[in-house]
Structure 1
């Protein structure tokens, strides 16, 4: 007898009818306190060597139905190695087809980044270098530790570089990116990492939304709040995570800011800057152009042709982290977006865009940061 379960870290699915492996009827589960839905993560057991057809019947009602065409779900037998499986979308239902080789297989919208791995990321960074300091900023409504990492030693003239990730918890590629970034920055044999720490102090928040991540939410925290619309006026009741980070930023100052995300629909990696903020300056435009030029040379996975149009966010512009930081501190502020799908230009169909490619992309951002830190200083 087959069974669908999701009672684990970041698990999310509703079961309509799992009696027939050739017609397993499922539904996307909304975030716990908001109607956003797109993330799924569940286990199928009891179907070894059985041709299974899994139908997410409410896919058309998801937050981003434009994300389903050309999308393929990820699956894993060991929760370490994830691969893409045949998936199609008919405009209403997302259908996943797979014949499991083992008694249990896990499916997800994207390769998950677990809370346990987050703990290992924090501990590994502290172990890697004496220049890493844990900054406990608070405890979330669900009781999770909310931490920043300070990396480097404050001396006069050093730049303050901020990187935050995973405001939207379902965008797990963002924390994979942060892991690759931290690993490269703290590698004592990485010349760019060593050089950057001579010029800058880094503040890194690898997971801005622990509660939403563990709950299996797509975009919101435990209170049902989209954190990336809270930067204009965060509150302790709705968005304590933003309140804590913003307060620390106002103490430290910000010279460079990166906010790491994933985009459901666009099959490219891209950056979205501050061209549409009221105070956008010639200096910010120069730094954006420099960042783009150097990253294009450093990573073929980056491109500047496809992305968001200016003015996309309308009246919400200054509620968004990148825009608020750029407006408040007059610095280079960029949102980095990665795909849930594969990259169109350089696809790897077996795995698509995944955790490891996100890690390598995170490591590659040291090159444009080095250029910007030198120019900004």
Structure 2
């Protein structure tokens, strides 16, 4: 018997019609207490060796319809090995074609990052020498806001912050973090040792654990977009930003990389703070050096494509990047990865993937190392 299930960690789908595997009709559920929607993640059971046509009927009303252009969904029968499957977007409907090799198959907008894997990552890191775990506060659903600290704290060592998944549906951001954190644990890595001798790294693998569990695209359990809260966060509505921002200020933050995913653009790129009136030439030079170094060490990252430059004085200070650059003089930037394939380095079978996200995370060590002396001075 054909069944469709999404009542699990990060699941999101609503069933319209599911009595014929050749005509499965679904809708993506809106984010909790908000109108955003695009993230989907569900399991289809009872379809072994059966050609399936899955239609997402409300795709044309999603938050970022450009995200469906040249897009392929991901599928997995074991929730470990995910591949891209034929997907078409036409007349406002996203249609997925697949013939599963097992009784059950999962489909998702991007490869999910499960809460169990998150817990294992936190445990693996905090059990390692030289790594500290802090919980500066709790979410509205009483989940911990977890900060992992790498390296000793000293007055002469600048605080570098890397945060991810303010938007919970951007799961590639936490895959990036896993790659970075696992590299930071390698005490035989000379670049890591050099970086941690000269800086203290504060990392938040998941800024939005409530939204992640609920299967949201962009908001927490209250319907709040965390990356519009940084100028004036509320402990009632955005405790995630409130507590992390407070800890950042106490650490005398000098650098922040905020890791995201972009629905529309098929590239890896960095969006900076050029539009902030308070931005100094020194801040901008350090940001550009970081960006250029990342492009040199990892060809999946590129410099030609990204968001249009914002005119000076027109930049938003409600985002982490804008706020930290304007109010704290930090070198802050937003790293975006694609939900689609990386057009400059395509992979027909996997598209942009967890493995490539983790590799990009590992590559950020060299980029931080390249700018650490300028950040300290």
Identify the TM-score tier after normalising by the shorter chain: over 0.9
Contact kept in structure 1, 2:277 and 2:312, CA below 8 Å: no
Secondary structure (helix, strand or coil) at the match of 2:299 reads: coil
Cα distance change of structure 1 residues 141 and 308 upon mapping to structure 2, 3 Å threshold: same
Q: Does 1:6 align with 2:16?
A: no
Deviations 1:239-281 (A, max 9, x none): 0100001111111111111000000010000001110001111
- What residue is the counterpart of 1:115 in the other structure? 115
Query: Over the residues paired in the alignment, what is the CA RMSD in angstroms?
Result: 1.3
Secondary structure (helix, strand or coil) at the match of 1:26 reads: strand
Q: Which sits farther off after the overlay, 43-52 or 323-332?
A: 323-332
Contact kept in structure 1, 2:253 and 2:328, CA below 8 Å: yes
- What residue is the counterpart of 2:144 in the other structure? 145
TM-score w.r.t. structure 2 length? 0.98
Cα distance change of structure 1 residues 153 and 72 upon mapping to structure 2, 3 Å threshold: same
Q: Which sits farther off after the overlay, 193-202 or 326-335?
A: 326-335
Quote the Cα distance in structure 2 between the aligned partners of 1:88 and 1:313.
40
Deviations 1:204-250 (A, max 9, x none): 11100000000000000000000000001110111010000111111
Contact kept in structure 2, 1:185 and 1:192, CA below 8 Å: no
**Poorly superposed stretches of 4+, deviation over 6 Å:** 312-316
- What residue is the counterpart of 2:289 in the other structure? 290
Secondary structure (helix, strand or coil) at the match of 1:365 reads: helix
Any gaps of 5 or more consecutive residues in structure 1? Answer: none
- What residue is the counterpart of 1:376 in the other structure? 375
Secondary structure (helix, strand or coil) at the match of 1:274 reads: coil
1:247-286 alignment runs, 5 A limit: 247-286=246-285
Secondary structure (helix, strand or coil) at the match of 1:370 reads: helix
- What residue is the counterpart of 1:299 in the other structure? 298
1:3-42 alignment runs, 5 A limit: 3-42=3-42
- State the 1:331 CA deviation: 2.2
Deviations 1:114-169 (A, max 9, x none): 111110110010123x2111111112111211111111111231111001000000
Cα distance change of structure 1 residues 127 and 233 upon mapping to structure 2, 3 Å threshold: same
TM-score w.r.t. structure 1 length? 0.98
Contact kept in structure 2, 1:260 and 1:335, CA below 8 Å: yes
Any gaps of 5 or more consecutive residues in structure 2? Answer: none
- What residue is the counterpart of 1:125 in the other structure? 125
Query: Aligned pair count?
Result: 376
- State the 1:375 CA deviation: 2.1
